[in-house]
Structure 1
Amino acid sequence: MQDHSLRIQTAQQRAVIYARVSSIAQETEGHGLKSQETRCREYALSKGYDVAAVFPDTISGGGDFMKRPGMVALLSFLDAQPDTSFVVIFDDLKRFARDTRFHLDLREAFRTRGATIECLNFKFEDTPEGEFIETIMAAQGALERKQNGRQVAQKMKARMQNGYWIHNPPVGYRYQTVRGHGKLLIPNPPLDEIIMEAFEGFACGRFHSQADVARFLQSHPEFPRNKHGVVTQKRAVDVLTQPIYTGHICSERYGLHWLKGHHQPLISVDTFEKVQQRRAEATYAPKRKNIGEDFALRGFVCCDGCGAPLRSSWPKGKYKRYAYYLCQTKGCDSYGKSIPRDKLEGEVGDLIKTLEPTKPLLALVTKMFSDAWDARIAQAQDKIKAAKRQIADADKQIESLLDRIVGTTNARVISAYEKKISELERAKAGFAEIAANHRPNQGRFEELLELSLRFISSPWKLWETGDINLRRTVIKLTFSGRLNYCRIKGTRTPNLSLPFKALGVFSGIEMKDGAAGEN
């Protein structure tokens, strides 16, 4: 009796199940892999098959089946047991392959391994008529897949043309379902503020290089990092070159150039253009890990002897390392002679402290700001009218170029026209922003006046915080050029920025303690 049961078990047909869905969403929503496996197991039970393994795939049915991990594992399983004949069970013919060529190749791959295939919704027949019907069914699946792909692409392009982003949300945005819009990009705090500060900091010169921007992004734990936990300079460049942050849609794939989007912009077109201009002017500077956030005056202070910017270093002493600035110009009298960081930055701080004006002078500054603001308001309407004229002119040029494109078949000429249209669309975006936002309001004036007076009245307070980015901002706003420093005599007479230069006219009676650093 035992021998009889053993013979029945040995003779039982072995089977494997293959299940596939086209996306992870289908799997997680419960419509795919589990239901297919259940149906296939019921089929195997009704046939008396012994199911040895199940091989799932979460990947599109088009293309090479050898790119499907589950199918590769299934074929490897068959290769490992060449003396055993298996039946491969799957739910539907479309789960097998949705490409005619690869359908036939996969059939041959199973045939060479001695495996047969069975489908719950289709009966395979090894006859000329059966092969013909199978080929037609496979071709129909391929046609449906390509038609679906075309339909999806058309819908994606149409949505982009309507001003909606369709790809993964850029850093600083997230998707939210909004009535009347569907999925819409909205700002994603606190990343949106980080992105804004990165753009504005680079545009105004607070960040000297794209490497500085990368360091700034790295300083925020919330900002996404690569697998090594680092924000690379390339990632910073990718952020700084994304027009999406201006509220516009651009896509080379769909031929869209500076189309106004429905999402809220994080920066202005003007800020974006300033960033691109600074990127074009700056040379590539790799990130220096040995400098970090340690030397606020690196690149700002020059050797008084040779005019070269002072370098910085952390030489090792007997018990610890020490921070120094030094000149590394061979032939200079100060070559290789170190200046303690605290000494140099302390003297520059003392110089900044002398620029604090008195209350009567601040009242004069307030009057100057008010007059300048009134003049700006008077000019605003003229600039808005000029911007509207430029938009109309750009529209005429675009229309003319489109007519020329229709009338030519030369690919190079068409490409040149398309490039010009892209440039005009970009310019239109800038003009439209001027026309919409150029008129200043009184509330904005009061806000800017308060910030400006707070800085001018005491730039020393920002310097005293010790924050390297704030110190660099103070230097940029206070001085119009680099500072010269003599190792023996200290800071030399600086070139002040326009506000402090204007205040310097009254320095003999209004500036506290007068100017510092005389030659």
Structure 2
Amino acid sequence: MRRAVAYARTSSGRQRDNTSIPDQLRICRARASRYQAAIVAEFTDEAVSAKRRDGLSESFAGRVGWNALLSFLAAEAEAGRVVDLVLVKDYKRFSRDIPAGHAEIQRLGAMGVELQAVEQHVDPSVPAAKILRSIYLADGEVDNDYRSRLARSSMVARLASGVFIHKPPVGYRATHAGGKRTGIEPDPELAPLVREAFAVSADPARSLDAGRQHLAARIEAAHPGQTPRAVQSRSRWKDVLVNRVYLGEVHVPAHGTPGSAEFQPERWVEGTHEAVISAELWARVQARIHGRSRPQSRRGVNPGVPLRGLVRAPRGHRDAGAVCTGSGPRGKSGERVWYYHTSGAGAYRVLAREVHAAADELLASLAPSPGVAALVSEIVRERLLGVEASAEAQRERARAALDAAESRLFRAAEAAIEGTIDPETHKTLTERYRADRDRALADLDEADSRQGGDAVAHVERAARLACDLPRLWASSSPARRLAIGGSILPTGFEVEGGAVVEPRLSPIMALLFSLSGTEGPKTETPAPGGSGRVPLSDPDET
């Protein structure tokens, strides 16, 4: 009889659908016999996210229960009591990050411990099982990306419709209806003061900061100690003066992948809120701000530093994680030497040729064998059949719930008209049934977001491109290299000592990379305080 431990995790206190901690442990206990195992200990992490943070192991390092499990395994091994199996309900309860999940499974393997998800069994004796496990690990991360994309799409759509959803700037206040935020409107007390301050800053006989001082004095006189932060410093005041929200506009951030058909660049649109200042006053203020500034010319991607915006300062440096810009000062010979660097005294700086060599070697190592494209697309196609079936079932339930809520709303309105219920009861029922309707609509949206759609085609295309990645990268223009790098390493990368440190691949590329070798990306588990780099100079490591 094998000795095993069970592990359960929730990411919030609202887990349901058999994912609460008691349900997870119950399922693990019920299926332990499949592995001829007896569970000798149970470990849990409640309301702990499995998403990746800054470092490869941080999604595990922050889990108290998981670290207690590792300590228990080590103590049992030292005492001669072998525990060789860790059971979880499914891989999402274990990890929602592909590289971190692989690294932790390898860590357990080095201890002689096997990990099994009882609802997603993988036979470790079958070589192809590595592919299936990679799919399961990718499922959680892709699910996170879908949720994030859905939330961002909803936010961008609302902004594009002209609704300001952020914290109201000074001079505005939030508006609500039915308990929900609906936008902003001019604050009756502060809006006139902001208008006066803009007029003072537009006066060529006075300084730009005079407007801030005027506004701060007026607010302090009326409400001592309640002066907004935006009015407390010169730098923040300039942000107020260039904020087009005061013109009645709303900023919509860029959305989608650059170069794709659905890409939408950042823009300002007409807002649903009222402007606080006139276009004429705005133009006068902007003329004062930019009057002595040379207009900036728009340039393409600099061939000397084509990866500017993707390179980041490595951990351990003062500017760790900061996005690098680039420059090429001329040496004594008159030729430019290009660098990626941050700004300020003690800034991080690295030779551009060193970064490019590391990026070339990384991308060359990512090319999987040609057969991987067909294999992955077939697995994804089979996986999507289950996803689409589940989505259709969810859609049917949501439609039934929506019909029921609409019917109840109608009957409640009918009863109120006939006088069989009092107004207070009608209000209570209406709020309840509207909440039911909103939940049903949200479930419908979620089901639609789970549609497979063109996912198989996207995976097939990504796999084909990945197989030809070295040639494609070598023959690309600087602008195309920036686009390729952004697609493969969307959060950028760090270079230290000629090596890329913990490359953070997009989900599809991470999956293909894990299938390109026998063990997937061999990322070292960082020692406490270490960087956990991937040495690119050793072919055995890729």
* Bigger CA radius of gyration: 1
TM-score, length-scaled by structure 2 = 0.39
TM-score, length-scaled by structure 1 = 0.40
Tell me which of the two structures has the higher relative contact order, counting C-alpha pairs closer than 8 angstroms and 6 or more residues apart.
Answer: 2
